[in-house]
Chains A and B, each alone.
Chain A
């Protein structure tokens, strides 16, 4: 089955710790996106990548980092500089950018502070 797999489903972070959220897709999609979802605030874009080895900051990139070494993988690192990391993180993809088509989402990772 084609889709987007996010892991783990639940993640806990200690103070001062970096954690990495995984996003893998087997849809052969070019573009991938990371969002953060907080109650009452909708989805906010953290980073996106339209092609391998290239990525751009979204609206709330501070305290986060990404890499795109392979087409199918777009991991997100939540660094210790992100002071309020508790949220639901969603990864999305689209076959190729510029075609104005909807994004497809994974089932998210819920990150909490210990």
Chain B
């Protein structure tokens, strides 16, 4: 069983839809959580970073962490065609040398 599970998609939604992307994890040692966006042939860019359970909002993006259920989510409101990309969840352990464990990525397409 992988430490981090992420639905690979692909996920196709109409413009303006609310998108929910999810990851589950099995290792309770993970303490901080990230979402990255990766466009084709590019490196991942950081979207959201959270350290505690609860919600964190940044513009159209909301990251949610539930440590008790070992579940993290990224919500995208009013989705745009420019949001079409692969979304990677990542998580790390305190004292782990900043090594991260990544999900496999969810491919999202927002259609006009």
Contacts and interface: CB of A to CB of B under 8 A. Distances in A.
B21 to A, nearest CB: 14
B41 A110 contact: yes
B34 A102 contact: yes
Contact of A102 (B42, B43, B46, B103): B46
Contacts of B8: 40
A104 B41 contact: no
A99 B98 contact: yes
Instruction: Bin chain A's interface residue count.
Output: 20 to 34
B105 A98 contact: no
Given A42-B88, A48-B97, A98-B98, A106 B105 contact: no
A50 B99 CA distance: 11
Given A42-B104, A42-B105, A100-B31, A58 B99 contact: yes
Contacts of B100: 43, 45, 103
Contacts of A48: 97, 99
B61 interface: no
B75 interface: no
Interface string A15-42: 0000000000000000101000000111
Interface residues of B, number: 28
A97 B43 contact: no
Given A98-B98, A100-B98, A105 B88 contact: no
Given A90-B43, A102-B46, A108-B43, A41 B99 contact: no
19 contacts: A31-B98, A33-B99, A42-B4, A42-B104, A43-B44, A43-B88, A43-B90, A43-B100, A90-B43, A90-B44, A98-B97, A100-B31, A101-B49, A101-B98, A102-B46, A104-B46, A107-B42, A108-B41, A110-B41
Interface of A: 4, 6, 31, 33, 40-43, 45, 48, 50, 56, 58, 90, 94, 97-108, 110
Interface of B: 4, 6, 8, 31-32, 34, 36, 41-46, 49, 51, 88, 90, 92, 94-95, 97-100, 102-105
